[in-house]
């Protein structure tokens, strides 16, 4: 398969002005995928932003129906190229090909949802209420916007950022992760084929230094970031120190699953095993802290252990259609996860399934279940971002909620119970932006997604995602000007 490794600026593929490149290694077998991925320099970012700025007046004035037409065409092209785009993602970060193609499908749904909102941003009006002024509130695009993606779901994360921005009339500069740049790099040809004018969408690649240039750029009106808490802080600081640009942050999580005695056992196991292990646990809102009420705990632990052991047998080459679970994204992530497991062993935490490396090549980690770690243990408090869950038991609803909320994060969560009033009561008390009931939380184009506490702020998805790319303008009209 041919690989596109250049930057995409002003509807043209161009090499980096600095000549610097990235090397991508296969997480499956450590082989070199490519050593030619171009790293965007500050000058390259300036060119991309300049192109987006030049395109903004015309794009923001383009009728919504026409913007929607181009967005829908782009979604169709993504769908038609799902096999190729999925393979590119799989090659970079080890997603099983079936899952990677599913992520492309999710991106298509998001582009189509926001195409439906293009040209449908309504304003407000308020009559004089004793002040003699008629008030109009309009919602307008911000200008040039930028997005920085994490490596675990490039196509979905790109859609969450670009689609609402374009629907609202903004232009965009998107930076993919240095760990998984090839899928987004292939967008250029599709962007041109869809008919987007030059400069409306620009794609750059690079690591943290490139992201820092975007976050501090004086001509960018908003930046949306998905990644680590440390990365989010850096983006926020750079934005504040530059032009006070709008910022939205979707950061890490240490999400809880609360499983009550009356829960359907098979369903709870399914969502906390197969559901959790999707993408090898590399999902920011995956529930890695599993809290199980004492009455059901022995059966649950036995069943989830078997499910994790069975999952290990379905782990392998991500390019094969029958592979369910792949390797971790790269050696750095592999070493991070293995470090957590080593710490857990040193603390004497019981490992009831997995706990080690799989094979002598690649970055495969066995699906692992840790039993009853201390609530202050690093494996229970820090985001591992791998196929590892920590299971603890609880006695009462109040205790479960207290443990669930004892974290600096607040992204995802789930509640398993046959008592719907309790499910709603507990959901209202969990400090998280997203709650699944009798299922692992899942996103949808129609609903907002984001976190509280150190999981970030701002929302992607739904109408809230569109509002994040608009600013409100209030116009007041004096209705009592004397006639002449």
Instruction: State the catalytic residue, choosing from 42, 83, 124, 250.
Output: 250
Whole-number Å distance between alpha carbons of 421 and 405: 20
> Which residues on neighbouring strands pair with residue 292, listed in sequence order?
259, 393
Where in 179-273 does DSSP place strands (E)? Answer: 201-205, 222-226, 246-250, 255-259
Whole-number Å distance between alpha carbons of 212 and 231: 10
> Which residues on neighbouring strands pair with residue 224, listed in sequence order?
147, 248
The b/e string for 459-475 (b: 16+ C-beta within 10 A; e otherwise) is bbbbbebbbbbbeeeee
The SS3 assignment for 369 reads strand
The SS3 assignment for 411 reads coil
Closest among 235, 231, 180 to 22, alpha carbons compared: 180
Which residues, 6 or more positions from 374, have their beta carbon under 8 angstroms from its beta carbon? 347, 380
* Whether 464 is catalytic: no
Whole-number Å distance between alpha carbons of 351 and 88: 35
Whole-number Å distance between alpha carbons of 202 and 187: 9
Are the CB atoms for 310 and 353 separated by under 8 Å? no
Provide the token pair at 242. Answer: 């530059």
Provide the token pair at 278. Answer: 């999707």
Whole-number Å distance between alpha carbons of 225 and 223: 6
The DSSP H or E segment spanning 347 is: none
Kindly state the DSSP code that residue 335 receives in the 8-state scheme: H
Q: What count of other Cβ atoms lies within 10 Å of the Cβ of residue 42?
A: 16
As annotated, the active-site residues are: 250
């Amino acid at each position: 398969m041919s690989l596109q490794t250049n930057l995409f600026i002003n509807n043209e593929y161009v090499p980096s002005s600095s000549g610097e490149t990235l090397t991508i290694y296969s997480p499956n077998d450590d082989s070199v995928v490519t050593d030619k991925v171009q790293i965007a320099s500050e000058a390259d970012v300036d060119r991309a932003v300049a192109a987006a700025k030049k395109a903004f007046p015309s794009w923001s004035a383009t009728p919504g129906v026409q913007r929607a037409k181009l967005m829908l065409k782009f979604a169709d092209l993504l769908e038609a190229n799902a096999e190729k785009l999925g393979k590119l993602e799989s090659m970079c970060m080890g997603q099983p090909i079936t899952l990677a193609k599913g992520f492309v499908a999710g991106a298509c749904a998001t582009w189509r949802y926001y195409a439906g909102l293009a040209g449908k941003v309504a304003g407000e009006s308020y009559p004089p209420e004793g002040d003699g002024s008629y008030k109009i509130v309009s919602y307008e695009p911000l200008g040039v916007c930028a997005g920085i993606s994490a490596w675990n779901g490039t196509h979905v994360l790109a859609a969450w950022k670009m689609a609402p921005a374009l629907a609202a009339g903004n232009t965009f500069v998107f930076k993919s992760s240095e760990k998984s740049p090839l899928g987004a790099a292939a967008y250029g040809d599709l962007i041109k084929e869809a008919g987007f004018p030059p400069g409306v969408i620009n794609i750059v690649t690079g690591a943290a230094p490139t992201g820092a240039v975007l976050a501090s750029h004086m001509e960018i009106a908003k930046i949306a970031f998905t990644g680590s808490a440390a990365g989010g802080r850096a983006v926020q600081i750079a934005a504040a120190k530059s032009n006070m640009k709008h910022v939205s942050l979707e950061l890490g999580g240490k999400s809880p699953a609360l499983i009550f005695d009356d829960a359907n056992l098979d369903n709870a196991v399914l969502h906390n095993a197969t559901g959790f292990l999707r993408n090898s646990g590399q999902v920011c809102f995956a529930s890695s802290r599993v809290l199980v009420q004492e009455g059901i705990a022995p059966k649950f632990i036995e069943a989830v252990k078997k499910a994790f052991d069975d999952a290990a047998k379905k782990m392998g080459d991500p390019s094969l259609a029958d592979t369910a679970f792949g390797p971790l994204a790269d050696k750095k992530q592999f070493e991070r996860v293995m470090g957590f497991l080593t710490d857990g062993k040193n603390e004497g935490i019981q490992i009831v399934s997995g706990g080690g490396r799989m094979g002598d090549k690649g970055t495969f980690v066995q699906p692992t279940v840790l039993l009853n770690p201390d609530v202050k243990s690093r494996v229970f408090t820090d985001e591992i971002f791998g196929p590892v869950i920590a299971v603890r038991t609880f006695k009462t609803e109040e205790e479960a909620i207290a443990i669930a909320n004892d974290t600096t994060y607040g992204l995802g969560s789930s509640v398993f119970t046959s008592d719907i009033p309790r499910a709603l009561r507990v959901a209202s008390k969990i400090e998280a932006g997203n709650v699944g009931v009798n299922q692992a939380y899942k996103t949808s184009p129609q609903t907002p997604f984001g976190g509280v506490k150190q999981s970030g702020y701002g929302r992607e998805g739904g109408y809230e995602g569109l509002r994040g790319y608009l600013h409100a303008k209030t116009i007041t009209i004096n209705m009592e000007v004397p006639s002449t």
